[in-house]
Amino acid sequence: MAYPPEPFRIKTVEPIQQIGRAEREAALRAAHFNLFGLRSDQIFIDLLTDSGTGAMSDRQWSAMMLGDETYAGATSFYRLKETIDQIFGFAHFVPTHQGRAAEHILASLLLGPGNKVPSNSHFDTTEANIRARGSQPLNFVIPEALDFELDHPFKGNMDLPKLEAFIEQTGAENIPLGMITITNNAGGGQPVSMENLRGCSAIYRKHGIPFFIDACRYAENAYFIQQREPGYQDRSPLEIAKEMFALADGATMSSKKDGLVNIGGFLAMNDDELFARARNELILREGFPTYGGLAGRDLEAMAIGLREGLEPAYLEYRLGQTAYLVDGLVAAGIPALQPAGGHAAYVDAGRMLPHLPRLQFPGQSLSVELYREGGVRSVELGSVAFGYTDPETGKEVHPELELVRMAIPRRMYTQAHLDHVIASMSAIGQRVDQIPGYRIVKAPELLRHFTAEFEPV
Ligand code: P61
């Protein structure tokens, strides 16, 4: 495996430091063992998320000076529109402050009590926005996705026969929206093939179900298609992206990922009537349609970031860096998901800490331990983030996988930083049986992982 060097050099630096072990312990207690409660100056390497945390380029920073802060009709909007039209090709879009705002608008326009929304795997904000409308999110990722070591090029694929059977059983009239997430974040940042997108589109269209792509990491997905899917070797990521979006009726986008910006997103669609309603909803919740929830300068940064995120040299470096982290973890005997996904390494905490039952949250436990060991912040994507209490049975429902994710901010950390992460995880691997489980002391009903409080069992 090659790990191509950064196709950029560093012009600005932001100092970071590692606080001592006793201070980290105190910080954990003060945060009630929830890593979302830490202050950034208590963290050495922050792999909580790749969302909005990356470094912008000199071109983006200079474009921000051109930001047009006009309330209606800002030229910055039209520059962004040109980029979005070229890459995504939908008839309409509205800018939003981030991905979940796009999800909220879409859910409020299409969903009501008792509706169902299938996807390969919804991410937690999408799930929560669907549940908030009284609807039910369903995940039909292929079973290969759950096999941690299986070498499969497109572990993010939808299980098409299962999707088809589900629609027939449920009735298309109860499914006002069909989705797919590229890459599949909740399932390991794994890509979806063009063939699978085509199949998915055909099924949704056959049943008249509007098909929206959760496009956060579409550029990484496009690059995987170029590298892995027969027939795409000579196609650029831009061409592949266009082909993917031509299969759908719309997209929700958090530009904080492959848009290479610190804030921003959009909701795009083809349907004129739906767009008219989306615009009204946007005005009610986000702002006027030529700025959405953003400043003009943010629109400028996004217009350039979306293009930079599709550059082949950048994508080659980016996916190589993620593979470097995964390969290092695997070499250290850590059960990391293979093959590497696009934006993050995912560790199977359930397998790494087999002495902890699900209700003692092994993922939470491992992520706390990684901070304790090396000042590294990761995020739990297991029973805390995706578990919920079944409203019918009152019982706790666990997701299939108990994961800890180390997401790599874009253009930010070097290989030496990742070596520190690998060494920290490896040190934990030497003393797994001493690691405690946790119990939830306090938590809200939706998106509980952000604010839940824990204590060691
Ligand atoms: C992330 F800890 N993702 O992966 P917004 N769809 C998809 C996402 O990955 C996503 C959104 C929609 C984040 C940020 C995050 O519990 C958490 O711009 C596939 O964040 O609103 C966001 O986009 C929503 C981290 C979100 C979390 C929720 O790290």
Instruction: Output the six-digit token pair for 363.
Output: 């993922």
Q: What is the mean pLDDT of residues 49-75?
A: 98
SS3 call for 118: strand
Cβ 259 under 6 angstroms from ligand 1: no
Cβ 215 under 6 angstroms from ligand 1: no
Q: Is 203 exposed, middle or buried (0-12, 13-18, 19+ CB in 10 A)?
A: buried
Cβ 287 under 6 angstroms from ligand 1: no
Cβ 338 under 6 angstroms from ligand 1: no
Please report the pLDDT score of residue 348 as a whole number.
96
Please report the pLDDT score of residue 401 as a whole number.
85
Residue of 354, 407, 388, 390 whose CA lies nearest to 186: 407
Q: What percent of the chain has pLDDT over 70?
A: 100
Please report the pLDDT score of residue 34 as a whole number.
98
Cβ 399 under 6 angstroms from ligand 1: no
Cβ 98 under 6 angstroms from ligand 1: yes
Please report the pLDDT score of residue 1 as a whole number.
65
Q: Which atom of ligand 1 approaches the CA of 447 most closely? A: 16
Q: What is the mean pLDDT of residues 355-369?
A: 96
Cβ 96 under 6 angstroms from ligand 1: no
Q: What is the mean pLDDT of residues 33-39?
A: 98
* Mean pLDDT value across the chain: 96
Q: What is the mean pLDDT of residues 411-431?
A: 98
Q: Which atom of ligand 1 approaches the CA of 344 most closely? A: 4
Which residue lies with its CA nearest to atom 13 of ligand 1?
Answer: 51
Dist. CA 225 → ligand 1 center (Å): 23
pLDDT at 176 over 80: yes
Beta-carbon-side half-sphere exposure of residue 143 (alpha carbons within 13 Å):
2
pLDDT at 354 over 80: yes
Predicted confidence (pLDDT) per residue in 125-155, tens digit: 999 999 999 999 999 999 999 898 899 999 9
| pTM confidence score | 0.96
Cβ 253 under 6 angstroms from ligand 1: no
Dist. CA 378 → ligand 1 center (Å): 14
Dist. CA 186 → ligand 1 center (Å): 10
Please report the pLDDT score of residue 365 as a whole number.
98
pLDDT at 165 over 80: yes
Best residue among 36, 103, 123, 447 to mutate for probing ligand 1's pocket (most ligand atoms within 8 Å of CB) is 123
Instruction: Output the six-digit token pair for 196.
Output: 């699978």
Q: Is 254 exposed, middle or buried (0-12, 13-18, 19+ CB in 10 A)?
A: buried
Cβ 182 under 6 angstroms from ligand 1: no
Best residue among 49, 367, 450 to mutate for probing ligand 1's pocket (most ligand atoms within 8 Å of CB) is 49
Q: Which atom of ligand 1 approaches the CA of 217 most closely? A: 19
Specify the DSSP class assigned to residue 18.
P
Cβ 262 under 6 angstroms from ligand 1: no
Q: pLDDT category, 400, cuts 50, 70, 90?
A: confident
Q: Which atom of ligand 1 approaches the CA of 265 most closely? A: 18
Predicted confidence (pLDDT) per residue in 422-440, tens digit: 999 999 999 999 999 999 9
Dist. CA 18 → ligand 1 center (Å): 26
Cβ 221 under 6 angstroms from ligand 1: no
Cβ 123 under 6 angstroms from ligand 1: yes
Q: pLDDT category, 392, cuts 50, 70, 90?
A: confident
> Across the strands, what pairs with 267?
94, 252
Cα–Cα dist 419/281, whole Å: 46
Please report the pLDDT score of residue 386 as a whole number.
84
Q: What is the mean pLDDT of residues 8-20?
A: 96
Q: What is the mean pLDDT of residues 75-90?
A: 98
Specify the DSSP class assigned to residue 73.
S
